[in-house]
Amino acid sequence: MGHTLPSTTQLIFEQIAELKPLYTALRRADQLVLDNFFEDILQHRAAIGNAANLLPMEILPFVILLEERKRNNRIHNELFQLLEELEKKLLQLPSLEVSEDAEL
Amino acid sequence: MKEYSGWLFDLYAHPKHGIDLWLVGEDKKPHSFHQSFQVTFYAGGPVHRRRQLWKFLKDKPVRQTPTQRKDLYTGIQDVLEIKTEPCVYEELFREVYKCFPDLLYYDVDIPLLLRYAAEFNVFPLAHFKVEVEQGWNISNVISLDTQWELDPQLPDFRILHLRPDSNPSRNIPKSLLAHFGQFKYCLSLDEPRRLLSRLNSIFQQYNPDVILTSYGDTWLFAYLEELSKETKIPFNPNRDISRSVHKKKEISFHNYGQAHYRGEQVHLFGRWHIDDQNCMTYADYGLMGAIEQARVTGMPVQEMARRSPGAGVASMQNLEAMRRGVLVPYQQQKGEAPKTYEQLVIADRGGVIFEPLLGIFQNVAIIDFVSMYPSVMVEYNISPETVCVDEEDAWTIPELNIKVSSREGLIPATLRPMVNKRVKLRRRLKKMKKSDKAYQSYKASSDGLKWLGVVSNGRLGFANAIFGRINAHEALSFIVRKMILRAKEVAEDHGFTVLHVYVDSLFICRTDATKEEDFQSLLDEIERETKLPIELEAIYSWMAFLSAKQNSNLSVPNRFFGVMPDGEYKIRGLALRREDTPLFISNTQLQILEILKQEKDPSKLTHLLPYVVSIVQESFSALSDGIIPINELLVTQTLSRELNEYKTPSPAARAANQLQAIGRNIRMGQRIQYIYVKTKQGVYAWDLPDPVNPTWIDITKYKVLLFSAVYEVLQPLGVSRNVLKNWIFGKASYLVPPGQLVNRQDLPLFANLKYLHVDI
């Protein structure tokens, strides 16, 4: 029992720790974005572990991209849905008829 | 010549020669016999050393024969076979090992019962027949039973329950409660003579087969022995009264990363003694489960009930090896085959554990592989001697660059009948109602086997396992990972959302899958694809996956809870499942779950929040008012190391230090109970002679613990810490009133963008 190599979680935390100098030199707003990236990475530990890559850092950007794409898709879908609803509602509005004797 | 049939009950070395054997007869009476039986062990190594050993043993009470036997890895070997009487064997081997430590020894560290089981094809509690000559000497043994019988015929045991009225490590007990058959007695400890006479009379008249005690190992029998010396009234709990009880020393050890402590053990001759407070997994399956484990592993019941299932699996392997004529090495393991770093990165991993999707989900089904690790070992022939072979017909695992032999290995052969039996038991249980008469007995047997299956995986990679090899363990883990991911793919092909994957289980949901039959085609396909048995465990009305304590956006694999339509829970990782949670806090968490389980539709769970909040407020008020019984505030923790090894003592270590200061023997693995108090040390050991002063109790600390436990179950409903604080302490509802929250997964990203909403 027990493993010779560090676990995926350990590896990820090591990678995050290595980015500390970069992190500290960023503005707070940018640091928060980076925090989101780290959360995305930690949510995919099983997949990163299964990739069994010698250099886990190579895998991490893919995971971040994957989460970003999911967010983009979600935003896209919701926007599209809202636009559809908007279109439907606009169609239901009474059409504007201009009478001849109307004063402009 | 006479014949007796019954069940093999106990067996031990006769003080002079052969063995004494106890049988519980079909007439329900115990019978004891004598049988000639010799212990055999083997010595291998260079010829000249074996010859020296032969000369050394020439004048000893042994029979020696140079012979050939099969070694699991190296094939046929020249060895010296040494046979001797069981009563002198241990001392003889110690002497041999001291003089010839360089030789390789086989079949050495094996209990007598296991040797007997291997030779006569019987096992503990086997139904068998003996032919007896004059003088109660057994001349022949005929087995009438197999270990793999689903409905084994077992005798009706005469069971005597003995337990003191309080925990002896805390209070001096005042009485002993005895329960047997229809009778219940409360025997006062103030009258030692009367106590011993009553017990002697129970032992003589009722003649129990089994004595089930609480604190029998660590207190009762030592106490009774002392009383017997004081009063000069003889007391011997053995059925074989020519023997005195056999004591085994206390021990602290690590098992699967956890510290354990096993107190001194008291084993009896001709009857069993089991102390339910000094066992490892006995509480999970009880006597029936322990009997099932003993039947399957060949280990004596008294031993099996107390030991870890790992010892049982080792015993099964030894038994199978001896029955196959394979040598069981002494203190040796096959070394690891070399591998590249890249192969190590692929191989050195455990099971697949996903990070579940956060939130509450409706109609969640759990499907899991039945005995997955042993099933893989059996189906894919994973055994220490079958991996890393160089055979033409072997199959390859290219990712690990190892070949696996197609000839059946020792471990698959050992596990195959056990796996088959458990699968059959599980399928029978599935068709039964819990109220059915046989349900409990099948369940105990199935659970007993489950534990053996669970540890069979670990044994392959365990450094001290005789039949273990790290390469086999890695191959096994690799195949398991592959199979569960294949199952995930199949589930997704069937339109299911995979919420969670946990080693051998999948948590899945699909809007239209609500009944058992909706999952059958999926299960069939997974079984076809993986060749492993898989089952639907249950369908839950809803299941909540919790976030990490430090970050509410991150999920954790082992904290979730769900409710079945019949109201039964599945709970993992919640405070109420943890040993160190005070009873009062567990009860409050359970009360919240009781309220939540009334609602089957997770989208309406928030409607129940007002009821939950009022219960929680009552609990906080009760804490502040000091009306919670002190024993409900007790925290129990296991010492993870010896006291002198703590650099920063944990609360449990601080409490243990208090106990050590009054002369108590404190060892790693012991459970320590304490109360949080407002003193410098912060804790007060429960077992100290003076009771804790109620005014010392640290109410704030308990409020923090209670708040965490409440937040734990409410956070999946979208309740934040601040909102909960306002509800409980501010009694405010202006932020978000209870019952009007929206579940987090239902919130669209643009929920707050009201300007996009158009009213007609």
For B706-744, what is each residue's pLDDT tens digit? 999 999 999 988 888 888 888 888 765 544 555 555 555
Q: Is B197 helix (H, G, I), strand (E, B) or coil?
A: helix
The C-alpha atoms of residue B21 and residue B86 are separated, in whole angstroms, by 13
Q: Is B534 helix (H, G, I), strand (E, B) or coil?
A: strand
**Domain boundaries, given as residue ranges, for chain B:** 2-143, 159-324, 346-573, 611-750
Residues of B in contact with A89 (CB under 8 A): 758, 760
Residues of A in contact with B345 (CB under 8 A): 5, 52-54
DSSP codes, chain A: ---SSPPHHHHHHHHHHHTHHHHHTS-HHHHHHHHHHHHHHHTTHHHHHHHT-SSGGGTHHHHHHHHHHHHHHHHHHHHHHHHHHHHHHHHHSPP----TT---
Q: Is B227 helix (H, G, I), strand (E, B) or coil?
A: helix
Nearest to B422 by CA among B440, B446, B443, B451: B446
For residue A87, give the chain B residue with the closest CA.
B758
Residues of B in contact with A3 (CB under 8 A): 348-350
Supply the pLDDT for residue B722: 84
For residue A47, give the chain B residue with the closest CA.
B354
Supply the pLDDT for residue B729: 80
In the CATH scheme, what architecture does the domain B159-324 have?
A: 2-Layer Sandwich (3.30)
Q: Is B611-750 in CATH node 1.10.8.10? A: no
**What is the count of residue pairs from A and B with beta carbons less than 8 Å apart?**
55
Q: What are the CA-CA distances from residue B608 to residues B605, B725, B732 (Å)?
A: 6, 18, 17
Average pLDDT on B679-700 reads 92
In tens, the pLDDT along B104-131 reads 999 999 999 999 999 999 999 999 999 9
Q: Please name the residues in contact with B223: beta carbons below 8 A apart, sequence gap of 6 or more.
A: B168
| CB pair distance less than 8 Å for A39 and B555 | no
Residues of A in contact with B760 (CB under 8 A): 89, 92-93
Supply the pLDDT for residue A100: 56
Which member of A1, A46, A92 has the closest CB to residue B352? A46
Residues of B in contact with A56 (CB under 8 A): none
Which member of B348, B461, B749 has the closest CB to residue A75? B749
- Alpha-carbon B13 to chain mean position: 30
Nearest to B670 by CA among B692, B655, B684, B682: B655
Nearest to B32 by CA among B43, B18, B45: B18
pLDDT tops 90 at residue B435: no
pLDDT tops 50 at residue B226: yes
Q: Is B37 helix (H, G, I), strand (E, B) or coil?
A: coil
Nearest to B212 by CA among B145, B159, B149: B159
In tens, the pLDDT along B516-572 reads 999 999 999 999 999 999 999 999 999 999 998 888 888 999 999 999 999 899 999
pLDDT tops 80 at residue B170: no
Supply the pLDDT for residue B425: 92
Element (H, E) at B44: strand B39-44
Q: Is the ipTM of this complex over 0.90?
A: no
> A1 — contact with chain B (CB < 8 Å)?
yes
Q: Please name the residues in contact with B760: beta carbons below 8 A apart, sequence gap of 6 or more.
A: A89, A92, A93
The C-alpha atoms of residue B281 and residue B312 are separated, in whole angstroms, by 12
Question: Which homologous superfamily is B346-573 in?
Answer: B family DNA polymerase, palm domain (3.90.1600.10)
What's the pLDDT band for B757 if we cut at 50, 70, 90?
very low
| CB pair distance less than 8 Å for A39 and B551 | yes
What is the nearest CA distance from B51 to chain A, expressed in angstroms? 39
For residue B747, give the chain A residue with the closest CA.
A78
The C-alpha atoms of residue B329 and residue B219 are separated, in whole angstroms, by 37
Residues of B in contact with A4 (CB under 8 A): 344, 348
Residues of A in contact with B342 (CB under 8 A): 54
Supply the pLDDT for residue B664: 87
Which member of B344, B485, B555 has the closest CB to residue A43? B555
Supply the pLDDT for residue B758: 39
> B134 — contact with chain A (CB < 8 Å)?
no
> B172 — contact with chain A (CB < 8 Å)?
no
